[in-house]
Structure formats: structure tokens, C-alpha cells
Amino acid sequence: MRMLISFAALFLSVILLQLSSGGVGPLDALSGLALDFSTAQVGLLGSAHFVGFFVGCWWAPRLMGSVGHSRAFAAFTAMGAIGLLAHMLVINPYAWAAMRVASGLCVAGCYTVIEAWLNAKVTNETRGRAMGTYRIADMGASLVAQLMIGILEPASYVSYNLLALLCCASILPLTLTKASQPSTPEAPRLRPKLGWAKSPLAVAGVMVAGLTSGAFRMVGPIYGQEVGLRVEEIGYFLAAFVLGGALAQYPAGWLADKFDRRWVLIWLSAASILSCAVTIGLAGGGTSAVMAAAILFGITTFPIFSVSAAHAHDFASSAERVELSAALMFFYAIGAIASPLLASGLIDAYGPSALFLLISVGHFALILFGISRMKVRKTVDDKTPYIYTPRTSITIGRLLKRQRDRKD
């Protein structure tokens, strides 16, 4: 209990930040459609978010080293709040794209500060409980953020103002805490070649995870509207995906620790293709059927990033773990940047089912690549423990390093 109290300010900041940043994606999609933006322009907003996220991941540690944790956090939340408040001042999709870059910078920067602070304060005795609570706070707030779409009116200043208020409120717990700021860790180097050298299959896996998550989270509201869901039902649809992902973590981890992780990835991708087909088939089956399909989609697709990361770390030394985690985040961002724009263009051309056809193609390619990689080399017998890996910042690699080093 004392551990939870000591980290309460950090966890409260995480919850408020996730409520703000998790709500802006679906709100932008629905607002853009209400303002007659094209589907491709709405997809551009999602891609712009991940561009900002990618830039923020590499800039945040350097800014934090220059001005300190609290000031860096305040600077990034100010960027996010400005981006939110400016939406209804300039009704233009390309101006909104610039605002979404600011939102992406905010998310990456704030999570970098929070995770750096956590890493400096946890001990070997408290690390497991702290990380478990952190994951619950993050995923729980993400679930609630999707449900907020039911009360946020699209293209409304009040809606964006509410999200901006939550973003600003996330500053208070962290900046008012009496805990001393930790020393700033050295920023990890960007070495994409390290990821490819350790596991080409893991690189392919995280890119497909980025393609899946980026497309569904940013373009999913368009799909929901196209298949006849009401605004509040679109929130349930997105939340069902997050819920399915949360439910899948333990069984996916058990499978990844017990069996060859390459086969786990291959079968998860096969199940993902099946869930895409089920989602397309149930599009006209009513609200309950669409929600059930979204849960199944989350169960099959959400664990792929963590399984891929665990497979890559099986081949890495302890000294390489932080930079390997950063490299995997780089490849995840590539998939997430490209997919919303690509998915929205395909929906324009071929209808809403094209979203899941695109995701199916990505997973089919992962299956073929996984089978080909199994012929190249054997997997390791001494595995690292499976760990659910949030896609929040490159600092997460430091938080998880010691847990990966502890062999079961």
C-alpha cells in the first residue's frame, strides 16, 4: 500500500493523460466526417498523430535532460492542450493534422517523463507491483477514454475543451508532488539495425502490430459509422477492442512462454485473419454481433507486439535490451504512421470492409515471413519471461529490462 501511495501522483497523471489523448483520435474521426472532411483526410489525422509520437519519443529524453522532468512534462502537456483547443478555431484538415502532431508529441513526451520517473524510483522489491498497477491504470483509462465518445459531441468546442482540461489537469499531480525529481537517464541511441539483427521476424511482427493498431484506433470510427453504429456505440466498439486485448494478455503470455514463440506469432496472425473475416461477416448482424467481433479482434491482434518483443529479447544480451526496445518502437511507429492514411484511402475506394482486408493482408504476410524464418535458424531454449509491453515511449525498455533479465 505504501508503494501505491508513493506512486499515486504518477498514476493519476497517467489516467488523466490517457483520458485526454485516448479520446482525441475517435473524436477527430467523427468530427472530421461531420465537417465533410474526406475519408483520406481523416486518415491523415491519424497518421499525423503517430508522426508526432515518433518525433516525441526521440526528442523527449533530450528535453528532459535539458530542463528536468517537471518542466518537460509541463511543456508537452501545453503542446497537447494547444493542439486540442485550436481545433475549432481553424476548420481545415491539414491544420488539424498539424494539431495532431502536437497531440502525438504530448503523448510521447509525457509518457517518457512518467516512465523515466517510475524507473528511477522503483526497486527490485516494488518493480512488479508498480508495473502491474501502471498497466492497469493505463489500460483502464484507455478503456474509459473510448467510452467517452458517447458523451463528446463531434465538431464541438466544448468536447475539445473538455479533453484539453483533462490534459492540463494531468500536470497537477506530477508537478505538485513533494517527491524529488530523479536524475535524467541517458537517451538510448536509435539503432534500427539492432532490431533487424536480433530478430527480423520480431521487426515484422511489431510493424504489423503498428499497422493493425494504428488503422483500427484511428480509422475504426469511420468503419463503425459506415456499418450503422450510433456515436455512443462506436465508443463501445473501440472499447471492446481494448477489452479483448486486456483479456488476451495472460493466455498469450502462457502460450509464448510454453511454446515456440514463432509458432505463437504465426497462429495469432492466422487467428487475426479469421477475426477480420468474422468482423466483416457480422457487420450487418446488429450491434451485439459487431461488439463481439471487436472483442475477438482485440484478443487475436493485441498480444502480437508483446510476443514479438519477447521473441526479439530472447536473442539479446542484458546490455542491449534498452536500445532493442527503442528499435522495436521505431518499427512499430512506421507501421502506425502508414496505416491510417492507407486504410482510409482503401475505405474510400472499396468500402468499410477494406479496413479489415488491409489488416488481413498484413497478417498473411507475417505468417509467410514467420514460416520462412523458421527455416533459417532455431529458436533459443532459454527464453526471457513474457511481459506485456505498453507502446508508450522508448523509456519503457528501461522499466522492463530487469524483468526480462530474470529467468523463470
pLDDT for position 268: 94
Q: Map grid coordinates 512506421 to a residue.
A: 334
Residue 302 scores a pLDDT above 50: yes
Alpha-carbon span 251 to 267, nearest angstrom: 13
- Alpha carbon separation from 215 to 13, 265, 314 (Å, rounded): 27, 20, 29
pLDDT at residue 124 tops 80: no
Range scoring the smallest mean pLDDT among 79-93, 285-299, 317-331: 317-331
The string of DSSP codes covering 225-269 is HHTT--HHHHHHHHHHHHHHHHHHHHHHHHHHHHS-HHHHHHHHH
Mean pLDDT of 249-278: 90
pLDDT of residue 92 exceeding 90:
yes
What integer pLDDT is reported at residue 395 of this predicted model?
66
Q: What's the per-residue H, E or C state across 29-80?
A: HHHHHHCCCCHHHHHHHHHHHHHHHHHHHHHHHHHHHHHCHHHHHHHHHHHH
**3-class SS of residue 372:** helix
Of 342, 393, 399, 315, give the one whose Cα is nearest residue 21. 393
From the list 199, 212, 408, 227, the residue with the least C-alpha distance to 320 is 199
More confidently predicted of 154 and 188: 154
- Provide the residue type at 277 as one letter: A
Cα 140 to Cα 312: distance, rounded to the nearest angstrom: 28
Q: Is the pLDDT of residue 93 over 60?
A: yes
Phi, psi of 90, deg, nearest 5: -130, 110
Distance of CA 104 to the CA centre of its chain: 11
Q: Which residue has the higher pLDDT, 232 or 25?
A: 25
Backbone phi and psi for residue 202, each to the nearest 5 degrees, phi listed first: -65, -40
Report d(CA 393, CA 202) in Å as an integer. 18
177: CB partners within 8 A, 6+ apart = 9
pLDDT above 70 (res 273): yes
Task: Tally the C-alpha atoms within 13 A of residue 242's C-alpha that lie toward its C-beta.
Answer: 22
- Between 23 and 319, the higher pLDDT residue: 23
Residues in the chain: 408
Answer for the pair 340, 221: CB distance below 8 angstroms, yes or no: no
How many other C-beta atoms are found inside a 10 Å radius of the C-beta of residue 375?
Answer: 6
Site of grid cell 483502464: 140
Number of helices (H) and strands (E), helices first, in the chain? 17, 0
Name the range with the highest mean pLDDT among 111-125, 329-343, 389-403.
329-343
CB of 216 closer than 8 Å to CB of 241: yes
What the block records as the C-alpha cell of 37 is 472532411
When pLDDT is averaged across residues 32-36 and rounded to a whole number, the result is 90
Q: Degrees (nearest 5) of the Cα angle 266, 318, 127?
A: 90
Reduce the DSSP state of residue 332 to 3 states and report it.
helix
**Residue range 7-36: mean pLDDT, rounded:** 88
Look over the chain and give the mean of its residue pLDDT values, rounded to a whole number. Answer: 85
pLDDT of residue 183: 65
Give this prediction's pTM.
0.88
Q: Is residue 291 very low, low, confident or very high in pLDDT (cuts 50, 70, 90)?
A: very high
List pLDDT tens digits, range 374-405.
888 777 777 777 777 777 766 666 666 666 66
Residue 292 CB neighbour total at 10 angstroms: 17
Look at residue 341 and tell me whether its pLDDT is greater than 80: yes
Whether the pLDDT of residue 408 is over 50: the answer is no
What are the grid coordinates assigned to 325, written together? 526496445
